[in-house]
Structure 1
Amino acid sequence: MTTLKCIAVDDEPLALKLVETFIEQTPFLELISSCDNAVEAMGVIREKQPDLVFLDINMPNLTGMELARLLQEQPGSLPKIVFTTAYNHYAIEGYRVNAVDYLLKPFSYEEFLRAANKVLQLAEETSNENPQASAEDDFIFLKVEYQWVKVNLKDILYIESLKDYVKVHLENSDKALMSLISLKALEEKLPSSKFMRMNRSFIVSLEKISAISKNSIFINKTEITVGEQYKETFKVIVEKWIK
């Protein structure tokens, strides 16, 4: 069975302890950390990359809803979120940040387990339906229309986000591949030594970069701007090239 790494976040000690207890008595959940504020949770999520976060909404300084929005803007993998709160008026807003479920306090173990099972089902469906290449592989598989297409990494120039799809531009090909996958999910499949996120909409093959300006890179005649949150990482790479 799939095991989901979890963290619990709540500023109320009793509520936090309850979620910890429920996690520990659920066989497919593994508690890897507990936090009593969202600021600490942000750091833990970045460091430990949990699969699932049980997240209280009403917390001082940074609310759970604000944390969820910030996570969506970050590069890398995004954990599933189950909100826990005493206020039911947050439900619609919760689903806007792609929360899997919404537990209204006080909730029972049965309700908790139902929410956890939703996340487990999503994880197992993803694992079963998506062929995964290992870190050593030089290819990935992408769902294109009704079939899985093998794409050699050396052929990829850059990848463009188009809402729920990505457009993969290939070398020596006039036709790009369209695949129903988010840019974030595809980023997780690609080796970070060969590919880099440039902004919210583009991932590029580092070896295909033909020129660099102050705030942009070029792949042949295509100019792609380096986003503010990616500039420091890109600067490190550039310094290795031009030394």
Structure 2
Amino acid sequence: MILYPAIDLKDGNCVRLLKGEMDKATVFNDDPAAQARAFQDAGCEWLHLVDLNGAFEGQPVNGGAVERILDATDIPAQLGGGIRDMATIETWLKKGIRRVILGTVAVENPDLVVEAAKAFPGQVAVGLDARNGKIATRGWAEETHYLVTDLAQKFEDAGIAAIIYTDIERDGAMGGPNISATAALANAVNVPVIASGGVSSLDDLIALRDCDAPLNGAISGRAIYDGALDLAEALKVLR
């Protein structure tokens, strides 16, 4: 399993939200590029970047911060938030993002996901963010009737690189991930699944690692910044 340290960008800063609420943001670093370098220096193999403002506005907002991160690091990064058309996808991939994450558009325009995955093999992931098992979009502000597994299975044959599954109610709450739902999703599809939301301790990572599902990795943010999760030990355990 890969540990993906999260750098969530709001107003140019590295922050963490509580359950997706923009007004409940805690700033952990006002220099996201320095934070990204620190993760690379610690031995992380990937970065997970989210343009939070972009997710709400439907277009990139923290582009400058993302570009500074790319300039400061050599490890691959995946990026989500406000990526909703082919032009934006192509722009970010050309700038050096290794993998774009399509969330809202996967619900509102699934044909774009299929088109993008075909045009950029291995470089398109789908972000499925759920509250009580149902997908939420537009920065988690709008809930839909789509069930996670049902939507995930629609993209099984599209050639997407991964599915990032986030339990919104667990995100930033330091209460542990939704292991059962994550494992069920990973066992229901043939696409690599990355767990997100609530990963707050070494025990959480071990539980995900040993959950009898083929998880690609796990994303953690607040626990790393708060020191609740020792990054060096976490990387060692997952390797």
Normalising by structure 1, what TM-score? 0.31
Normalising by structure 2, what TM-score? 0.31
| Structure whose alpha-carbon radius of gyration is higher | 1
The structure, 1 or 2, with the larger RCO (C-alpha pairs under 8 Å, 6+ apart) is 2
